Amino acid sequence: MNGVRRSLLHLPEDPEGRDAWFMAMALEEAAAAAEREEVPVGAVLVGEEGVLARCGNRCLELKDPTAHAEMLAITTACAARGEGRLPGTTLYCTLEPCFMCAGALLHARVARIVFAARDPKFGACASLARLPEDRRLNHRCLVEEGLHADLSAAMLREFFKDRR
């Protein structure tokens, strides 16, 4: 992921460029998780004030099945803001959030979820359900998928190939 870490001064102004830039950060976090022998998933939570959290999976390290990148990003971002809700924010994640993470993102009032690769076994934003867009809920998130899906999927395939 050479060249991914760039100054916020060079953040692209166009929305697509910004999305790609923040997803590249999430891919960095996923690569760092893989180096720790964690499932390579990364998440970046962004608000108007900039990056609130950059996290990768830490389930093995923390011996905590809830220590998904998205959950850690929510906790970190809430602490950074000093609030229990995150309205107006966007979560960039390398893998489609699971039911636990999608539910937490809804409770946190995250406005938008951008994920790279689908998760056919646990994904709750497109694969198995569309929880963030469910009209029965009192809050919904916009969901966009596919940005850098090829890179994320390749990282996950490589990680699991080495373990089988």
**Distances from the Cα of 68 to the Cαs of 41, 49, 65, 81, 136, in angstroms?**
8, 24, 7, 20, 26
Angle at Cα 9 formed by Cα 94 and Cα 70, nearest 5°? 25
Q: Which of 122, 80, 86 lies closest to 101 in space, CA to CA?
A: 122
Cβ atoms within 10 A of the Cβ of 157, count? 11
Q: Which of 160, 125, 129 lies closest to 146 in space, CA to CA?
A: 125
Q: Can you name the residues that pair with 124 across neighbouring β-strands?
A: none
In the residue annotation, 13 being an active-site residue is answered as no
Between CA 118 and CA 147 the distance in angstroms is 11
Is residue 135 predicted with pLDDT exceeding 90? yes
- What phi, psi does 142 have (nearest 5°)? -70, 140
Q: What is the pLDDT of residue 10?
A: 63
Confidence of residue 7 (pLDDT cuts 50, 70, 90): very low
Between CA 5 and CA 25 the distance in angstroms is 7
Angle at Cα 106 formed by Cα 31 and Cα 142, nearest 5°? 75
Sign of the alpha-carbon torsion through 37, 26, 24, 124: positive
Q: What percent of the chain has pLDDT over 90?
A: 88
Quick check: 100 and 120 in contact, CB under 8 A?
no
Q: What is the pLDDT of residue 21?
A: 94
The catalytically annotated residue of 61, 70, 144, 145 is 70
Query: Over the stretch 52-97, which tens digit does the pLDDT of each residue have?
Result: 999 999 999 999 999 999 999 999 999 999 999 999 999 999 999 9
Quick check: 37 and 60 in contact, CB under 8 A?
yes
Q: What percent of the chain has pLDDT over 70?
A: 92
Provide the whole-model pTM.
Answer: 0.90
